[in-house]
Structure 1
Amino acid sequence: MTFRRARRRHYAMTAPTFFAVEYAINPWMDMSASVDTHSALNQWETLRQTYKELGHTVETIEPVAGLPDMVYAANGGLLVGGKAVVAKFAYPQRDGESAAYAEWMTRHGYQPVETRHTNEGQGDLLVVGSILLAGHGFRTDRRAHDEIASIVGMPVVSLELVDPRFYHLDTALTVLDDSTVAYYPPAFSDASRAILRDLFPDAIEVADADADVLGLNAVSDGLNVVLPAAATGYADQLRRAGFRPIGVDLSELLKGGGSIKCCTLEVHP
């Protein structure tokens, strides 16, 4: 079995103080479904404490009233190598989040750069070792990939998403370590599946049942993989591959179309 090693990580999270499903901009959102904000806060706090118990640094970002999706901190931008790209959202309902995340970045010593074309941060921009996997097809504009490559100075591999349920890259692919990923093949175009097979011949391919609970919307430190508790088949696959799965229930936040990774903005060194 491959030896896996955890590496301490730096995360930023925004509490779901104002979380609600006030509009529908992805197939998971049902405006008729009731949201228990107290339950959402408790689930989010469990996730935050899980990271802290694993030894990771977790910063909190002040939530803003009127921005119910701000809890999905990963969408706020990309932070890597001292460079910061702030999100430019596809839907006007989320526009205010860009300013909130840019302000947080600035206060932490970054100079956030705006892209001309739509990008939804780490929802579609995932660092794997020395490369950046970039999703497009539903939210992030393919043309933003070239802008982002220039800003952060990293090679970008573009991947086309084709299933609207998996509207961000982080709903269909987990970065497990600097050379290993897991993904749900039907979420990608034929050409993008071929790219993934070529880049990651040892990737874990996840089944429908686990993808259907957003199981791939997970966070890994190289050993410990924090994933939705309902993704039990994926957890078994991870265990067999030498990872340590840790299930967390984020079912209340799933009502907005997000889970573990969506709530976690990683600050990459």
Structure 2
Amino acid sequence: MATVRPSAGGTLLPEQLMSGGYPSLAPLMRWVTPAVVNISVKSAVPIDPHPFLRDPEFRRFLDRFGLPEPTEEGLAERQSVGSGVIVNAARGYVMTNDHLLQNATEIQVTLKDQRRFRAQRIASDARSDVAILKIPPVDVRPLALGDSERLEVGDFVIAIGNPFGLGQTVTSGIVSAVGRSGVGGNRIGELIQTDASINPGNSGGPLINLAGEVVGINTALIGPSGGNVGIGFAVPSNRARAALERVPR
């Protein structure tokens, strides 16, 4: 079995990525995946009224025959899933996407060992699409934020998350581009582009390097059918720190 030893900063320095005599990422995954969580969000979204209710002729028809006017206004409950990463286990801090938590009424975090916790959003940075959740302290090794400025096109990276609500899933690839702008109307600035598969539900999960450091937070994809075609995006870790710095001391 391969041995991996932590560096002085607590990140991984894989000496041999080998398992059963073959190259493998399994030793690294055993180290990092316990810190990756699934996130379930209940949110309240406005119900769009039926188009007929906007038609003055239809309203006059109801008035003419004394019929009550139907109402469809209000809020509907929506359930969505995403991912996150524990960045401070002692304080229970989980990093994820800000957009995943819009209009949230209830947030649940599920660890790899299936422990579940109610979570509270304690900080966010909409400009970088990153938010911090708080759960009770957990006995899980947190992942460190790496230096995304050191990323180069061709570097190997690994995406971990909860695509389509299937449960924890690992995909790998390379950095396809850095400083990619214009994604989502340029709302969240420059991003890391990767061909590691990122699908709906991966949002908020970590993009890690081969040292086990978080170099990005997965946030978006481009795909004509809503699935992965090899073009995914992550918020650079150096920008994601802004949300962590907003946590009240």
Does TM, scored on the shorter chain, surpass 0.5?
no
- Relative to the length of structure 2, the TM-score reads 0.28
Higher strand content, 1 or 2? 2
Which structure exhibits the higher relative contact order, with contacts defined as CA atoms closer than 8 Å and separated by 6 or more residues?
A: 1
Could you say which structure has the larger radius of gyration? 2
- Relative to the length of structure 1, the TM-score reads 0.27
